[in-house]
């Protein structure tokens, strides 16, 4: 009985050792985990829409030429900010891929190693106990009935105990592995990728008051009408921007705009400058004088669609096309809801 008890402990120890030894065949590099921790901290800084907008803005802004020193400094400042956001977005994507790879490797460990190992271990233990049972004592046929019955009972108990020992070892290992996986998920949570948005339709719905950027860009225009609109005034057409006066800025309706936002051309607060504001359909707001003077950077007198004050300084929305699109569909600019996508 003492030998049986010591062999039971021996098989239990060997089972745990084999399980942990094989589980360590797919280690996770510590450098990857430490680098992943630093990268995940930036994941909440930018949303997907914000990243796409920034990337689009910098690509379009890189085509502009600065002729005025002050405006050129503002443009460079905006470009640096956009590039920084792009780099952060790339780092976030790499961090997400690394975390998914780590999760996949850990799951493969359970599927590839644990289940087959348990089956092989059960077979080995079964063969070992049967062999031990057959080699114990003389042939039971040559012994009395009592010894033969005790022999069968001892063999049966040895086989049952073998299954219990190895099953207990597997259960303990799976509990430890499950605890490790739970702690790993808490330390490095799986990042859920945002659902892909449905593409914006370019087709115009006659019953809808919503106008999208893609509809304006894909619309077929009469070039003569665009030239007439461009030559009719030196500033953007009527209805393509909203004028917010200094008096309106003092009202509660514009208190948040006055205190928090800055002009995207001069980068000065609206609260500091004593000037009217021009709010474009794309929701970008500028000092009115900055909007007029933006032709130094944004204007091209030889290009109808790029003539002075006819584009948004930030997102390059063509105000001439916006005006003509509303005219072609006979839409009232006061009732239109513009979506810059």
Task: With beta carbons less than 8 A apart as the criterion, state whether 57 and 315 touch.
Answer: yes
**CA end-to-end distance (rounded Å), the chain:** 80
Tokens for 163?
């299954």
pLDDT at 189: 54
Q: Distance between CA 243 and CA 265 in Å, rounded?
A: 17
Beta bridge partners of 211: 338
Contacts of residue 323, Cβ cutoff 8 Å, sequence gap at least 6:
229, 236, 237, 238, 239, 240
pLDDT at 106: 54
Q: Distance between CA 114 and CA 173 in Å, rounded?
A: 9
Tokens for 159?
């086989």
Q: Distance between CA 173 and CA 121 in Å, rounded?
A: 14
Residue with tokens 């936002």: 261
Q: Distance between CA 14 and CA 6 in Å, rounded?
A: 12
Report, in this order, helix, strand and coil percent for the chain, each rounded to 5: 60, 5, 35
Tokens for 322?
């916006």
CA of residue 121 relative to chain centroid, distance: 43
Q: Distance between CA 104 and CA 81 in Å, rounded?
A: 35
Contacts of residue 298, Cβ cutoff 8 Å, sequence gap at least 6:
64, 306, 308, 309, 311, 313
Task: With beta carbons less than 8 A apart as the criterion, state whether 261 and 268 touch.
Answer: no
**pTM greater than 0.85:** no
**Local structure of 337: helix, strand or coil:** strand
pLDDT at 186: 55
pLDDT at 182: 60
pLDDT at 296: 45
Q: Is 285 exposed, middle or buried (0-12, 13-18, 19+ CB in 10 A)?
A: buried
pLDDT at 253: 83
pLDDT at 302: 40
CA of residue 10 relative to chain centroid, distance: 50
**Local structure of 285: helix, strand or coil:** strand
Each of the 341 residues of the chain gets a pLDDT tens digit; together they read 444 455 555 566 666 655 555 555 444 444 444 444 444 444 444 444 445 554 555 444 444 343 344 444 444 444 444 445 556 656 666 666 665 665 566 555 555 555 556 666 666 665 555 555 555 444 545 444 455 555 555 565 655 666 666 667 667 766 666 665 665 655 555 555 554 444 445 567 777 888 888 888 888 888 888 888 877 777 777 788 888 888 888 888 887 777 767 887 888 887 765 678 888 888 888 888 888 776 444 444 444 444 545 788 788 888 888 888 888 888 888 888 898 88
pLDDT at 184: 62
Domains along the sequence of the chain with CATH: 2-187 (no CATH), 210-339 (3.30.40.10)
Q: Where are the alpha helices (DSSP H) in 188-282?
A: 213-218, 223-231, 246-249, 255-260
Q: Is 290 exposed, middle or buried (0-12, 13-18, 19+ CB in 10 A)?
A: buried
Tokens for 283?
């929701």
pLDDT at 43: 44
Going by the DSSP 8-state scheme, the letter that residue 193 receives in this structure is P
pLDDT at 311: 82
Q: Residue 318: count other Cβ atoms within 10 Å of its Cβ.
A: 21
């Amino acid at each position: 009985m003492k030998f049986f008890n010591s062999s039971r402990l021996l098989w239990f120890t060997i089972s745990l050792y084999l399980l942990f030894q094989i589980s360590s065949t797919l280690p996770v590099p510590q450098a990857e985990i430490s680098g992943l921790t630093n990268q995940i901290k930036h994941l909440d800084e930018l949303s997907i829409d914000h990243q796409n907008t920034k990337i689009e803005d910098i690509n379009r802004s890189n085509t502009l030429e600065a002729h005025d020193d002050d405006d050129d400094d503002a443009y460079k400042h905006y470009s640096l900010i956009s590039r920084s956001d792009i780099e952060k977005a790339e780092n976030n994507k790499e961090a997400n891929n690394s975390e998914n790879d780590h999760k996949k490797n850990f799951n493969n460990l359970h599927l590839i190693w644990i289940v087959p190992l348990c089956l092989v271990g059960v077979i080995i233990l079964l063969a070992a106990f049967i062999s031990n049972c057959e080699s114990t004592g003389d042939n039971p046929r040559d012994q009395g009935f009592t010894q033969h019955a005790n022999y069968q009972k001892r063999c049966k108990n040895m086989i049952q105990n073998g299954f219990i020992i190895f099953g207990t070892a597997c259960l303990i290992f799976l509990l430890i592995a499950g605890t490790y996986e739970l702690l790993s998920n808490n330390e490095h949570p799986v990042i859920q990728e945002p659902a892909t948005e449905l593409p914006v339709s370019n087709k115009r719905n006659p019953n809808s008051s919503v106008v999208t950027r893609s509809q304006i860009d894909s619309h077929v225009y009469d070039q003569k009408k665009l030239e007439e609109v461009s030559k009719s005034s030196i500033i953007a057409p009527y209805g393509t921007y909203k004028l917010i006066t200094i008096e309106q800025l003092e009202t509660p309706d514009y208190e948040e705009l006055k205190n928090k936002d800055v002009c995207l051309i001069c980068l000065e607060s609206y609260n500091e400058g004593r000037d009217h504001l021009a709010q474009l359909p794309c929701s970008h707001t500028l000092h009115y004088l900055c909007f007029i003077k933006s032709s130094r950077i944004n204007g091209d007198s030889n290009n109808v669609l790029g003539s002075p004050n006819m584009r948004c300084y930030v997102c390059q929305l063509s105000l001439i096309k916006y005006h003509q699109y509303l005219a072609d569909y006979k839409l009232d600019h006061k009732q239109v809801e513009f979506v810059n996508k």
